[in-house]
């Protein structure tokens, strides 16, 4: 006992110090290790590593002729990444609140239909988009009101609005596919042309990626650098204490539901412009919704609330994209996808629990 105590730092070491004490540079390799440890225990660290490993795996296991590591393939992958990243960004705010929004699937379907209806009613393209996203915000407002004011569990409340919005989409569209306004490709002698509107709202190759990056960065900054983000974390961590300190709990919750719905509405419009069709397909919307939540969870956001990261969710979405794309190129039966996805979620959860424990022990902030 006394011999080990002698080699330990003095007992008066300040609390939170042990991590630094242990990693004091005994040799040159230790600071680097400390850095690696810090990186791995950062919320986003583990998912970055996993995504890189997955990418390397596909890069080396696929024959060079499969063109996995090419710009063209990256472009192929984008539709499997950007929509999830945007949806997950909004969802993260609610998951940090210890709430969830299932209605994003319904909003995703309903918003492009509203866009079509506004346009059909004689409103120009851009104002139609803005109005349609306004409708999405109203659905978010309804969610927020039911959860924050009527105190209904968000899972149930948004399950209700999910079906309501999906159902409305089917009723209004008569379950028929529509052609997205403004997205038509016109051909002439010099090749195919898409309008500026279409290239901004999803049809441009990098359009969805740019939207995703802008939204993720904006929401990550909002989460970590603004009062809104701080109060979001406070509510998720300890709702009563937050209210007692003066946080306007209802207002923050409603705002987050609106942001989440706006993200979902935007994704709906981007996807409908990209595919040049508005398809009222609740099945695909539910799939999208679950993938978005999966991206957030894999990226390190807990359903328990109090912690989460928008950037992590984006990398979680990238992971999903790489996984889908890689498996497709590998020629693996598509049936395997869900299986791997399931394993990924379970592993991410285990990693989160473990990393959380390491963080607490070592005092990494």
Partner 1 sequence: MLRVAHIAKSFGPVTALRDVSLHLKKGEVLGLLGDNGAGKSTLIKTICGFQKQDSGEMWLKGEPYEPRSVAHARSLGVDVVYQDLALIDELSVYQNMFLCREQRVTGLPFLDRRKMKKETREALDEIGIHLPRLDVPVARLSGGQRQSIAVARGVYSEADILLLDEPLAAMGAKEGAMILDLIARLKAEGKLSMIMILHNYVHVLESCDRVNMIVDGVITFDKPSAETSLAELTELVVDEYRRARSAAQAEEAAEAAQAAASPPE
Residues that bind partner 1 (CB under 8 A): 14-17, 221, 225-227, 230-231, 233-234, 236-238, 240-248, 306-307, 360, 363, 365
Task: Identify the CA nearest to 46 among candidates 239, 327, 309.
Answer: 309
Q: Which is nearer to partner 1, 284 or 307 (CB)?
A: 307
Q: Give whichever of 243 and 345 is closer to partner 1, judged by the CB atom.
A: 243
* Residue 97 beta carbon to partner 1: minimum distance, rounded to whole angstroms: 12
Shortest Å, Cβ 190 to partner 1: 46
Which residue lies nearer to partner 1 by CB, 19 or 194?
19
Minimum separation from the CB atom of position 362 to partner 1 (A):
10
Alpha-carbon distance of 87 to 83, in angstroms, equals 6
Q: Is 279 left (phi over 0), alpha (psi -120 to 50) or beta?
A: beta
> Smallest distance, Å, CB 346 to partner 1?
24
Q: What angle do CA 249, 108, 225 make, to 5 degrees?
A: 40
Of 48 and 234, the one with the shorter C-beta distance to partner 1 is 234
The answer to whether 348 and 257 are in contact (CB under 8 A) is no
Task: Give yes or no for a contact between 282 and 105, defined as CB atoms under 8 angstroms apart.
Answer: yes
Q: Quick one: 98 or 123, whose CB is closer to partner 1?
A: 98
Q: What's the Cα-to-Cα distance from 86 to each of 34, 58, 264, rounded to whole Å?
A: 33, 25, 8
CB 162 within 8 A of CB 106: yes
- In whole angstroms, the minimum distance from the beta carbon of 192 to partner 1 comes to 43
Contact, 306 vs 237, CB < 8 A?
Answer: yes
CA angle 306, 310, 316 (to 5 degrees): 110
In the complex, what is the shortest distance from the CB of residue 222 to partner 1, in angstroms, rounded to a whole number?
A: 8
Q: For residues 167 and 182, what is the distance between their CA atoms, to the nearest angstrom?
A: 25
Least distance between partner 1 and beta carbon 125 (Å): 31
Cβ proximity to partner 1: between 59 and 221 the closer is 221
DSSP helix/strand/coil, 67:
coil
In terms of CB distance, is 283 or 365 closer to partner 1? 365
Q: What token pair was written down for 34?
A: 């400390």
């Amino acid at each position: 006992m006394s011999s080990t105590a002698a080699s330990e730092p003095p007992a008066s070491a300040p609390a939170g110090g042990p991590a630094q004490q242990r990693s004091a540079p005994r040799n040159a390799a230790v600071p680097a290790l400390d850095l690696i440890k810090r990186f791995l225990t950062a919320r986003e660290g583990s998912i970055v590593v996993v995504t890189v490993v997955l990418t390397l795996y596909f890069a080396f296991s696929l024959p060079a002729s499969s063109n996995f590591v090419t710009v063209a393939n990256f472009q192929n992958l984008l539709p499997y990444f950007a929509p999830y990243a945007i949806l997950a960004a909004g969802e993260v705010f609610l998951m940090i609140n210890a709430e969830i929004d299932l209605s994003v699937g319904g909003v995703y379907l309903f918003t492009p239909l509203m866009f079509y209806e506004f346009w059909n009613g004689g409103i120009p393209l851009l104002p139609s988009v803005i109005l349609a996203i306004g409708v999405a915000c109203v659905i978010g407002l309804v969610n927020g009101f039911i959860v924050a004011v009527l105190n209904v569990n968000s899972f149930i409340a948004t399950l209700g609005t999910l079906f309501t919005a999906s159902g409305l989409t089917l009723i209004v569209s008569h379950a028929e596919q529509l052609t997205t306004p403004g997205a038509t490709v016109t051909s002439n002698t010099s090749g195919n042309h898409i309008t500026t509107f279409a290239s901004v709202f999803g049809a441009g190759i990098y359009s969805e990626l740019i939207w995703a990056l802008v939204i993720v960065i904006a929401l990550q900054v909002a989460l970590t650098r603004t009062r809104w983000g701080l109060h979001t974390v406070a509510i998720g961590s300890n709702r009563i204490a937050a209210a007692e300190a003066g946080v306007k709990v209802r207002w923050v919750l409603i705002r987050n539901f609106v942001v989440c719905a706006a993200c979902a509405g935007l994704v709906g419009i981007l996807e409908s412009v990209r595919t040049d069709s508005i398809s009222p397909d609740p099945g695909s919307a539910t799939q999208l919704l679950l993938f978005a939540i999966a991206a957030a969870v894999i990226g390190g956001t807990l359903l328990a609330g109090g912690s989460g990261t928008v950037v992590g969710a984006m990398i979680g979405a990238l992971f999903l994209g790489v996984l889908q794309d890689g498996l497709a190129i590998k020629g693996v039966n598509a049936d395997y996808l869900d299986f791997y996805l399931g394993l990924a979620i379970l592993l991410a959860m285990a990693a989160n629990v473990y990393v959380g424990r390491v963080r607490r022990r070592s005092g990494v902030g």
